[in-house]
A = this chain, B = another copy of it.
Amino acid sequence: MIQFQCDYLEGCHPRVLQALVESNADQAAGYGEDPICEEARDIIRRLCHAPEAAVHFFVGGTQVNRTLIAATLRPHQGAVSCDTGHIAVHESGAIESSGHKVLTTPNDNGKLTAAAVDALCTAHWSEAAPDHMVQPGMVYISNPTENGTVYTREELLSLRAVCDKWKLPLYLDGARLASAMECPLCDYDYAFLAEVCDAFTFGGTKLGALFGEALVITNREMNRDFRYILKQNGGLLAKGRLLGLQFRELLKDGLYNEIGRRENEMALYIRRSLEEKGYAFLIDSPTNQQFPIFPDDLLETLKEKYSFGFWEKTDARHSCVRICTSWATRQEDVDALLADIPAAK
């Protein structure tokens, strides 16, 4: 079985593995207070041109989201997200479980628009009794989005402007960040993200690490006493150096972006090939998630050798599936897949 359903099916990039092996016997202080974590933090601060930024490491994405949101909001506030946002849909109510509503607006191709945030805030503050409703308290976006789409510089600046207007922190969930940064549309760098966002993550799990998300916080207020809340949410890893080590390896000389680039290349190769065979795509994604539409009987045949993520039925006899590439996706597996897919009728 060759699996394409997601991008966390294999272990970590060989260079990351090598670093883990080499440092295994060393002693290092616990809970992220070791020199390796500090080194990784410095690398991240330099990449972001943000010498004052705080950097915290987490094992997983749901942990980051619930911890940062819990640390940022007061009890009556909610996090604004588009309706396809990960926190709105796929975290089993982690945000609500820490007391906060996710305030959703319709998505635009997987993205939250500045106009939607503005409309939601305008509506809230023009209520006769806004204090009977949840107050917008921060803005959540993911980049790439859950649909594989990527924000432009322009769009991020507009979101920043609307956040400034309503005094809302802007948080960007970068679970697949390198894939966004390396896609052709991307017209900004990490320093821009550090400037435009109050906080954002470098996702590791889907980009060459065994696990891990690095959270960068440039808004000093959001970072106040952050480690208490990290611990409270079960996010402080005892052997924290495992996180520092992986991010140091991924970010010290560009491996992270290289992995993103390679994921995109494989994904776009699949896309072009399928388009040439006459298949349509539900979503126009420039990153490592692709959403082709296949006849159901073809999917039935393919599932003996390949696995995909089911996305949705598009009509009575067709379905959209998600194909993900990862750091480990092999050309030969992709070619085998493409060979097994005939031209569309």
Contact = CB atoms under 8 A, between A and B. Distances in A.
A59 interface: yes
B9 A92 contact: no
Contact of A227 (B20, B131, B235): B131
Contact of A60 (B76, B102, B210, B237): B237
Interface in A214-260: 224-225, 227-239, 242
A339 interface: no
Given A12-B24, A94-B231, A133 B89 contact: yes
Contacts of A61: 238
Interface string A124-158: 00001111111100000000000000000000000
Nearest to A205: B238
Contacts of A28: 9
A232 B100 CA distance: 11
B90 A239 contact: no
Nearest to A230: B131
B75 A70 contact: yes
Contacts of A269: none
Given A8-B238, A11-B26, A93-B76, A231 B101 contact: no
A71 interface: yes
Interface in A1-59: 1-3, 6, 8-12, 14, 17, 20-21, 23-31, 59
A211 interface: yes
A96 B71 contact: no
A99 interface: yes
A231 B132 contact: yes
A250 to B, nearest CB: 15
A66 interface: yes
Contacts of A96: 78, 96, 99-101, 134
B129 A31 contact: yes
**The 4 residue pairs across chains A and B that have the minimum distance between CB atoms:** A63-B234, A11-B24, A76-B228, A92-B232
